[in-house]
Structure 1
Amino acid sequence: MASLKTLIVSFSPVSRWITVNTHIDPWPVPQFEKAVNDTYRKSFLVSGCCTQGRVTFAVLIALARGYHIAHVADPTSGQSSTEACLGITSMNQAGAVPLSWRQLALGWQLNWADSDTRTRLLQFITS
């Protein structure tokens, strides 16, 4: 995600680094829920490691609480491809919108006429 952020000049994420330690589900961690609530947003883009655990539970609970969630499916992982696929399937069936990292990057680009970001994006995609 950090590499993708450098491609789009106008990208301004809400960055909240919260230590969830032993929690598979981050929502019981007060700092996590406060960080989400403090954004005053109802739509989030989620990606991370451990698809079958932290990513899936964070997404499923966010959906249950009324948030709109898109998740970047291809850079996440699990202990096996089966576990990752099952986590992604669970999120999708619950209403999360799956995206690939290229879809995300192209969505940030929006217009090939923007030559400043187009050049960097093409370099990134082909590297």
Structure 2
Amino acid sequence: MTFRNGLASLLRPEDSVLVLIDHQPYQLANLNSHEPQMVVNNATALAKAAKAFGVPTILTSVIAERGGLIFSQITDVFPDQEVIDRTLINTWEDRKVVEAVKATGRKQLVIAGLWTEICVAMPAIQALGEGWDVTVITDASGGVSVEAHEVAIQRMIAAGANMMTWLALAGEWQRDWARTETANGLTEVLMQHAAGSGVAYLWEQQLLNTPVPTTAG
């Protein structure tokens, strides 16, 4: 197996397409690899980061009438976008989803979903076999157990997939804080979803806007 390294292997917003898979109540109900609220937070942050960087994002669910609608925190980021509802468990076997991805013209495929061991692993491995550059966002995904999530990650790595967290992906897309056209949008996402980093940034703004006390003479 050949792994690419070097600058060209890093993810770029202009070459990336994001697919968010089955972030639905049914899957969340048996999510045990992560704290559920963290997965909701991270998936929402990932969606907002994609929007900030202009990365095309495909939203897909499986049998939504039974499994529930995609979390509103995610659909609110893309209020006018159709959610592709499937019956196929493997998203990459759904022609409508694959055609939507191909229509973007991007080859860096970024995936996150519930559950990691099924709804993420199957499309990731199939897409890898078809020549796509696949990255899985592990903390915006989750499985029915820690073991299920971790074994799925090992399986996808063995197949050639990249593993990242949402914050690492956002940093890779930004790459340079001088890119002010995206830096402001990313900062908003950090404030809302990056916990300590967001709080530290707000504190920094507080300090920068606090007059330096003068010594009474």
The two structures have a TM-score, normalised by structure 2, of: 0.51
Aligned to 2:22: none
Q: How many percent of aligned residue pairs carry the same amino acid?
A: 26
Question: Which of 167, 173, 184 pairs up with 1:116?
Answer: 184
Counterpart CA distance in 2 for 1:116 and 1:37 is 29
Aligned to 1:19: 85
1:96 is aligned to 161
Indicate yes or no: 2:151 matched with 1:86: yes
Q: What are the equivalent positions in structure 2 for 1:54-69 lying under 5 Å apart?
A: 54-69=119-134
SS at match of 1:71: strand
Deviations 1:106-126 (A, max 9, x none): 223323455635643552422
- Structure 1 unaligned spans of 5+: none
Contact map agreement 1:5 1:11 (CA 8 A) in 2: no
Q: By percentage of residues, which structure has more helix?
A: 2
Per the TM alignment, residue 12 of structure 1 is displaced from its structure 2 partner at its CA by: 1.2
Corresponding letter in the other structure for 1:11:
F
For 1:57 and 1:8, the matched residues in 2 are separated by 23
Q: Larger C-alpha radius of gyration, 1 or 2?
A: 2
SS at match of 2:140: coil
State the one-letter code of the partner of 2:184.
D
Report the equivalent of 2:38. none
SS in 2 for 1:16: strand
Residue type of the alignment partner of 1:37? K
Residues 62 and 82 (structure 1), Cα distance of their counterparts in 2 relative to 1, 3 Å cut: same
Q: Deviations over 1:21-64 (max 9, x none)?
A: 3x221222221222122222222111111000010001000000
2: distance between equivalents of 1:66 and 1:96? 11
Give 2:19's aligned residue: none
RMSD: 2.4
